[in-house]
Amino acid sequence: MTRASFGERAALSLLRRIDPERAHGLALHALKAGLAPAPGPLTSPRLATELAGLSLPNPVGLAAGFDKNAEALGPLSRAGFGFIEVGAATPRPQPGNPRPRLFRLREDRAAINRFGFNNEGMEAIAARLEKRPQNAVIGLNLGANKDSTDRAADFATVLRRCGPSLDFATVNVSSPNTEKLRDLQGKDALAALLDGVLAARDGLDHRVAVFLKIAPDLDAEALKDVAEVARSARIDGVIATNTTLSREGLASRHASEAGGLSGQPLFVRSTQVLAQLSRHLDGALPLIGVGGVGSGEEAYAKIRAGASAVQLYTALVYRGLSLGRRISEELDGLLLRDGFGSVAEAVGTGRDAWL
């Protein structure tokens, strides 16, 4: 079983003493300098996963937000993840919201961020994606500029520019940190937005899988609407979920900070939303489970609730970059224990427990 090395544990201890956003920047610099685990993605007949036409060595992916500007594609492709999502990218560069805008909630194994789609813009990101490693599955989270007069069009613009270098793209209408962005999750607005994105996808010279990322704060009726739109559109899957505005049950002194909450407290709600979507979609589209994944058991729970793959990010802050490979190892053992020959065989087998 892969364990965090002494060096990784020491680095984590040091980074936790530093302002969270500065610590994140230092972690990216360390990655680019080669000072990070690089065992490559674990795979096995049980872990190998087909997701919306993508062949993944394992179903454990890195969520968007860790590498916003696609700066560390090479090192991340060797860190053990089955797939990598970078971004979010917007058409024009934007600084995001004022600092401080990232907070560790150590007692809760969580984080709150209100970044506001800070990134270097699609031109800089596209240039890096053009030099991407070809032996990895890489996607981009699509975003909209805060001051855009047509946010729906921004998503298609970013896909047209960056799509030639992507395996998948995620339509992110669920960030709580851009005012009124979540309004695009409404049934009619979402259908129109997806039509524009898919038209942009059709103009590319290869097929890019398009996923929709939704919020965990949707009510039952809104979830039904999302499922209906997802079924009728030509998208390839749904990512459930983004961060939450809920603050229920938190112990940290930072609990009242504005922004999206991620990490362990999100696990139950995000898994419930995942299970409900799985029931509504009934196998029509694959799901990717995100929110509170920090162990093989939690990844396995997402899969049994209806996910074909999972993503993580916040847990890396507390357990290190090698966690991705450790989760794959644990998941492989759990599949073997329960007699599943593949991830696909386990998908949805425990869904009713979350409904």
> Which pairing describes strands 138-142 and 110-113: parallel, antiparallel, or unpaired?
unpaired
Residue listed under structure tokens 């339509």: 171
What is 200-238 written as a DSSP string? HHHTSSS--EEEEEE-TT--HHHHHHHHHHHHHS---EE
Buried b / exposed e along 265-287 (16+ C-beta atoms within 10 A): bbbebbbbbbbbbbbbbeeebbb
Contact in structure between 348 and 306 (CB atoms under 8 Å) = yes
> Which pairing describes strands 138-142 and 83-89: parallel, antiparallel, or unpaired?
parallel
Tell me if residue 88 falls in helix, strand or coil: strand
Residue 44 appears among annotated catalytic residues: no
Pairwise CA distance, residues 69 & 121, whole Å: 8
Torsion of CA 69, 203, 183, 110, to 10 degrees: -30
- Answer whether the bond into residue 45 is a cis peptide, omega within 30°: no
Q: What angle do CA 121, 152, 271 make, to 5 degrees?
A: 90
Q: Which amino acid is at 70?
A: A
Best CA proximity match to 243, nearest among 114, 354, 78: 114
Element (H, E) at 24: helix 20-32
Among residues 77, 165, 174, 175, the one annotated as catalytic is 175
Tell me if residue 64 falls in helix, strand or coil: coil
Which two three-digit tokens encode residue 202? 């059709």
- Answer whether the bond into residue 88 is a cis peptide, omega within 30°: yes
Catalytic residues: 175
